[in-house]
Amino acid sequence: MGRKTLALGMALLVCSTGSAWAGSNDDALQAKVQRLENLVTQQSHQIQQLQSAAGENWLSEQRAEQVKSLVRDVLADADTRASLLENGLSAGHNGKNFYLASEDGNFLLAVRGYMQLRYIFNSRDGGRNNPATGPAAARAPGVSATTFDNEEGGFELSRAKLTFSGHVIDPRLQYSLGLKTDSNSGEVLLDHAVFCYALTSNVKVWGGQTKAAMLREENIEATHQLAVDRSLVNEMFSTGYVQGIGAIWTATEDLTLQAALHDGSRSGESGDLANTSNPGMSFDSDSTDFAIALRADYKVWGDWEQAKDYSAWSGEEKALFIGAAFNWDNVEHGSTGTTALHDLADDIFTWTVDAQLEVNGFNASIAFVSQHFDVANSNPSAYGGNITNQGLVVQAGQFILPDQFEVFTRYELLLIDDNNATLASTGDIDNINILTFGGNYYFSRHNAKFTLDTVVALNALDTRHIQSPSVSPRSLGLLHDKDGEDPQIAVRAQFQLMF
């Protein structure tokens, strides 16, 4: 049937063409028609030979349906492209995100996002010191202020985020705008809003609300971590989102330098470094006069793309990155009130050094951070003197099944300065040791992955012993402890989808 239809179609084509041209007396056209007829005859003979060689089932019903499906897809794609081209646009997916772009390349809009659904089970021995004033969220509904539920478990949509990025007018003028949902209220909030301009091929300047280049762990996206979430050390010392301006200089192929002038640690969040009782991001709500962040990254081996996550994928060369960063918060002077940051310190200095290694499916990283509060001229009567807290994070991972199943472990240590008179009545201030271990199953690398881990706080976790910034371990699946209690354990399971 297919052969007859094909032959009939070719015959009609030749006849109709021949008739149209025969109406003219052009001998050259008649010669072309004759050549076409000869070509059709030759092709028909070849088709007969192929059919004889392949048998009567050479065009089965299944193959015919596949051809029809292909034709429909091609036509649909052609219609879409034709519609977009009429408006001077191109669209599609480049393997990383969906995009719209002008034909001249001067305008680009890329859209990407992700969701993280998490289940957490936490087991501990007791609630926070002085539970009568502790947060109600640390107790089960209906439980009195002096009694706490030792086991808590449940689901949460820990993160949901959309990012719009690209360039306007010129590829050198770039932008990125991110929206996120609050894991408690579900409210849509601004995550970041920043624009960037490439002055030269190796110098960019930026302005807006974004993360200052400080801690390596913070600068690696939440979607590209080994564990379900970042470490408590990171949450304590991170400068978070800030509002300000900055520059990025690719000094050499192997060296990148970054600098930022901003409004202070966490000034791009609802409540900055210590002023959490009066949240706000306007110019008069900051707790610092100014802040400066500096970071240097050096690539010993590998490709810079490898520094965007910790995992060592197949086909990647060995990689080693080392870095160092510094942040200075110059505390606002002249403010009054017990919650103002100037009551805690005049200046806050934070610095870190770190390294990251990837080789043959194995990865390892280490980071040390120190934060110093200069309280000499602020309120020394409430504090025994200057305060210096320090933290250490060491982690490693190994692919058991290349690019599919990965196991990991992480150890973190918080060294808490006990030079604080206001904490004298709470007992000894213990250093905090936390061990995390688990595994990742990658369905499509970070685009779709499942993570299961266990977090063991080896010491009682009382976050009042953690100096500013105020840190809530609840976002990490950890809860407040009483002094001297046994370690608490949190089991966390998370599915992540990126698009």
- Summarised one tens digit per residue, pLDDT across range 384-419 is 567 888 999 999 999 999 999 999 999 999 988 776
Q: How high is the pLDDT of residue 282?
A: 72
* In the block, residue with structure tokens 């400066």: 292
- Summarised one tens digit per residue, pLDDT across range 19-30 is 433 444 456 556
Q: Helices 27-54 and 2-22 sit at what angle, rounded to 10 degrees?
A: 180
Tell me which H or E stretch contains 197. Answer: strand 188-200
Query: Which of 86-100, 254-268, 448-462 bottoms out in mean pLDDT, i.e. has the lowest?
Result: 86-100
Buried b (16+ CB within 10 A) or exposed e, 463-498: bebbbbbbbebbbbbbbbbbbebebbbbbbbbebbb
**Could you give the CA distance from residue 93 to residue 155 in angstroms, rounded to a whole number?**
32
**Could you give the CA distance from residue 286 to residue 280 in angstroms, rounded to a whole number?**
8
**Could you give the CA distance from residue 435 to residue 199 in angstroms, rounded to a whole number?**
45
Tell me which H or E stretch contains 248. Answer: strand 241-250
The amino acid at residue 207 is: G
- Contacts with 387 (C-beta within 8 Å, 6 or more apart), sequence order: 345, 372, 373, 375, 417, 419, 420, 467
- Contacts with 114 (C-beta within 8 Å, 6 or more apart), sequence order: 159, 160, 161, 223, 496, 497, 498, 499
Q: How high is the pLDDT of residue 273?
A: 45
Report the percentage of the chain scoring pLDDT > 90.
48
Question: Mean pLDDT in the chain?
Answer: 79
| Chain CA centroid to CA 384, Å | 40
Q: How high is the pLDDT of residue 378?
A: 52
Give the residue, 196 or 39, on which the prediction is more confident.
Answer: 196
The amino acid at residue 14 is: V
Q: How high is the pLDDT of residue 10?
A: 43
Q: How high is the pLDDT of residue 388?
A: 87
- C-beta separation of 352 from 218 below 8 A: no
Q: How high is the pLDDT of residue 47?
A: 60
Average pLDDT, integer, range 329-352:
69
Average pLDDT, integer, range 445-449:
96
- The two most distant CA atoms of the chain are separated, in Å, by 113
Average pLDDT, integer, range 55-63:
54
Residue 461, helix vs strand vs coil:
coil
Q: Which two tokens stand for residue 178?
A: 């991110």
C-alpha distances out from residue 79 to 67, 86, 89, Å? 18, 11, 13
Instruction: Choose from 123-137, 146-160, 352-366 the range with maximum mean pLDDT.
Output: 352-366
- Summarised one tens digit per residue, pLDDT across range 255-314 is 999 999 999 888 888 644 444 444 567 776 677 889 999 999 999 999 999 999 999 999
Residue 72, helix vs strand vs coil:
helix
Tell me which H or E stretch contains 410. Answer: strand 405-415
Q: How high is the pLDDT of residue 90?
A: 85
**Could you give the CA distance from residue 250 to residue 258 in angstroms, rounded to a whole number?**
9
Tell whether the model's pLDDT for residue 315 goes beyond 60: yes
**Could you give the CA distance from residue 222 to residue 163 in angstroms, rounded to a whole number?**
14
Q: How high is the pLDDT of residue 467?
A: 46
Tell whether the model's pLDDT for residue 165 goes beyond 50: yes
Average pLDDT, integer, range 62-88:
58
